[in-house]
Amino acid sequence: MASATAMAIAPEVLARPAVRLLQEALGERLRAASDFRGDLAITVDRRAWVDAVRLLRDHPELAFEMFLDLCAADYLDVEGRPERFEVVLHLYSVSKKHHLRLKTPVPESDPRLATISHLFKGANWFEREAWDLYGVVFEGHPNLSRLLTHDAFVGHPLRKDYPQGQRHVLKSPKQMLLNVPAGSEHLLVNIGPSHPAMHGTFRVQALLDGETIVDGEAELGYMHRNFEKMAENRTYWQVIPYTDRLNYCSSFMNGHGWALAVEKLLGVPAPPRAEAVRVILSEFSRIMDHIVCIATNVVDLGAITPFFVMFRAREAVYDLLEACCGARLTVSYVRIGGLAQDVPEDFAARCQQALASCREAWQAGHELLTRNIIFCKRFRDVGVLSREDALSWGWAGSCLRGSGVAYDVRKDHPYSGYEQYDFDVPVGTLGDCYDRYLVRMEEISQSLRIVEQALAKLPGGPVITDDKRVALPPKAEVYSNIEALMNHFKLVYEGILPPPGEVYGYTEAANGELGYYIVSDGSKNPWRVKVRPPCYNNYQAFPQMIKGAMLADAVAIIGGLNVIAGELDR
Partner 1 sequence: MPKCTIDGKQIEVAAGTTVIQAAELLGIHIPHFCWHPDLPVDGNCRMCLVEIEKMPKLQIACNTQVTDGMVVQTESPKAAEAHRTTLEFLLVNHPIDCPVCDQAGECYLQDNYMAHGLHESKVELEDKVRKRKVVDLGPIMLDAERCVLCSRCLRFEKEVTGTNSFEFVNRGDNTQISTFENRPITHEYAGNLADVCPVGALLSHDFRFKMRVWFLKSHESVCPGCSTGCNLFVDERDGEVQRLRPRRNPDVNKSWLCDPGRALYHAIGSQTRVTGARVKGAVWEGVSLADAAQRVAAALKEAAGASAFLASPQASNEDLFAFRALAEAAGGRLDFRVGSPEARLRERLDNVLQRADRNPNTQGCLDLGLGRDGVGAILAACAAGQLKALVLQGPELLRVPEAADALAKVPLVVVMATHEGPELERASVVLPAAVWAEAEGTFTNYQRRVQRFRGAVPPPGDARARWELAAAVLEAFGRPLGATSARELFVRVAAAHADYAGLDYRALAGSGRVLPGAGSGVAGSAQEARA
Partner 2 sequence: MAVSVVVVDRNLRPGVGPILKGFWVTFKNFVESAFLGKAATIQYPEQKRQVSSRYRGIHILTQREDGTPKCVACYMCATVCPAECIYIEAGERPEKTIEKYPTRFEIDLLRCVYCGFCVDACPEEAIIMSGENNLVGTSREELLIDRDRLMARSELVEHEAGYRPVDHDVRRPVRIAALERLRDEHGIVPGMPQGSGARRQR
In the chain, the N- to C-terminal Cα span, in Å, equals: 26
Residue 507 β-bridge partners:
514
Asked if 474 touches partner 2 (CB under 8 A), the answer is: yes
Answer with the entry of partner 1, partner 2, none that 496 interacts with (C-beta below 5 to 8 A by kind). none
Residue 89 DSSP code: E
CA 288 – CA 249 distance, rounded (Å): 7
Q: Kindly state the helix (H) or strand (E) to which residue 31 belongs, with its residue range.
A: strand 30-36
Residues whose CB falls within 8 Å of the CB of residue 370, separated by 6 or more in sequence, listed in order: 438, 441
Asked if 428 touches partner 2 (CB under 8 A), the answer is: yes
Contact call for residues 15 and 73 (beta carbons, < 8 A):
no
Q: Which is nearer to partner 2, 89 or 369 (CB)?
A: 369
Answer with the entry of partner 1, partner 2, none that 438 interacts with (C-beta below 5 to 8 A by kind). partner 2
Q: Which is nearer to partner 2, 126 or 242 (CB)?
A: 242
> How many residues of this chain bind partner 2 (CB under 8 A)?
68
Return the residue of 412, 452, 467, 521 that touches partner 2, per CB under 8 A.
412
Residue 101 β-bridge partners:
41, 90
Asked if 298 touches partner 2 (CB under 8 A), the answer is: no
Min dist. Cβ of residue 570 to partner 1 (A): 28
Q: Which is nearer to partner 2, 18 or 427 (CB)?
A: 427
CA 215 – CA 98 distance, rounded (Å): 37
Q: Which is nearer to partner 2, 65 or 442 (CB)?
A: 442
Residues whose CB falls within 8 Å of the CB of residue 139, separated by 6 or more in sequence, listed in order: 112, 113, 114, 115
Min dist. Cβ of residue 59 to partner 2 (A): 24
Asked if 281 touches partner 2 (CB under 8 A), the answer is: no
User: Using CB under 8 A, which of the segments 204-212, 272-280, 427-435, 539-547 binds partner 2?
Assistant: 427-435
Asked if 421 touches partner 2 (CB under 8 A), the answer is: no
Min dist. Cβ of residue 135 to partner 1 (A): 25
Exposure pattern of 281-317 as b/e (b: 16+ CB <10 Å)? Answer: bbbbbbbbbbbbbbbbbbbbbebeebbebbeebbebb
Query: Which amino acid does the sequence have at 567?
Result: E
Q: Which is nearer to partner 2, 62 or 310 (CB)?
A: 310
CA 15 – CA 510 distance, rounded (Å): 36
Asked if 529 touches partner 2 (CB under 8 A), the answer is: no
CA 560 – CA 382 distance, rounded (Å): 11
Q: How many residues comprise the chain?
A: 570
Q: Which is nearer to partner 2, 117 or 235 (CB)?
A: 235
Contact call for residues 518 and 529 (beta carbons, < 8 A):
yes
Q: Which is nearer to partner 2, 7 or 340 (CB)?
A: 340
Q: Which is nearer to partner 2, 208 or 340 (CB)?
A: 340
Answer with the entry of partner 2, partner 1, none that 487 interacts with (C-beta below 5 to 8 A by kind). partner 1
Give residue 414's Cα distance to chain centre.
17
Answer with the entry of partner 1, partner 2, none that 130 interacts with (C-beta below 5 to 8 A by kind). none
**Residue (of 536, 541, 543) closest to 563 by Cα position:** 536
CA 158 – CA 130 distance, rounded (Å): 9
Answer with the entry of partner 2, partner 1, none that 195 interacts with (C-beta below 5 to 8 A by kind). none
Q: Which is nearer to partner 2, 124 or 357 (CB)?
A: 357
Residues 498, 503, 505: CA angle, nearest 5 degrees: 110
Q: How many CB atoms lie within 10 A of CB 367?
A: 12
Min dist. Cβ of residue 446 to partner 2 (A): 9
Asked if 367 touches partner 2 (CB under 8 A), the answer is: yes
Q: How many CB atoms lie within 10 A of CB 386?
A: 12
Q: Which is nearer to partner 2, 178 or 478 (CB)?
A: 478
**Interface with partner 1 (CB under 8 A):** 468-469, 477, 479-490, 493-494
Min dist. Cβ of residue 70 to partner 1 (A): 35
Asked if 375 touches partner 2 (CB under 8 A), the answer is: yes
Contact call for residues 339 and 277 (beta carbons, < 8 A):
yes
Handedness of CA 56, 58, 63, 68 (dihedral sign): positive
Answer with the entry of partner 1, partner 2, none that 345 interacts with (C-beta below 5 to 8 A by kind). none
Annotate 191-212 with three-state secondary structure.
ECCCCCCCCCCCEEEEEEECCE
Min dist. Cβ of residue 348 to partner 1 (A): 33
Residue 206 β-bridge partners:
189, 216
Min dist. Cβ of residue 493 to partner 1 (A): 5
Cα–Cα distances in angstroms (integers) from residue 484 to residues 266, 340, 473, in the given order: 21, 17, 6
Give residue 264's Cα distance to chain centre.
17
Asked if 442 touches partner 2 (CB under 8 A), the answer is: yes
Asked if 323 touches partner 2 (CB under 8 A), the answer is: yes
User: Using CB under 8 A, which of the segments 112-120, 137-145, 367-375, 447-455 binds partner 2?
Assistant: 367-375
Return the residue of 61, 80, 209, 479 that touches partner 2, per CB under 8 A.
479
User: Using CB under 8 A, which of the segments 40-48, 77-85, 360-368, 545-553 binds partner 2?
Assistant: 360-368
Answer with the entry of partner 2, partner 1, none that 468 interacts with (C-beta below 5 to 8 A by kind). partner 1
Asked if 488 touches partner 2 (CB under 8 A), the answer is: yes
**Residue (of 257, 325, 318) closest to 289 by Cα position:** 318
CA 100 – CA 69 distance, rounded (Å): 11
Asked if 240 touches partner 2 (CB under 8 A), the answer is: yes
Min dist. Cβ of residue 249 to partner 1 (A): 36
Asked if 430 touches partner 2 (CB under 8 A), the answer is: yes
Return the residue of 368, 458, 497, 550 that touches partner 2, per CB under 8 A.
368
Residues whose CB falls within 8 Å of the CB of residue 479, separated by 6 or more in sequence, listed in order: none
CA 154 – CA 149 distance, rounded (Å): 9
**Residue (of 344, 269, 267, 359) closest to 312 by Cα position:** 359
Residue 39 β-bridge partners:
36
Asked if 348 touches partner 2 (CB under 8 A), the answer is: no
Residues of this chain that bind partner 2 (CB under 8 A): 234, 237-242, 303, 305, 308-309, 312, 315, 319, 322-327, 330, 332, 340-341, 344, 364, 367-377, 380, 406, 411-412, 419, 422-430, 434-435, 438-439, 442, 472, 474-476, 478-480, 485, 488-489, 492-493
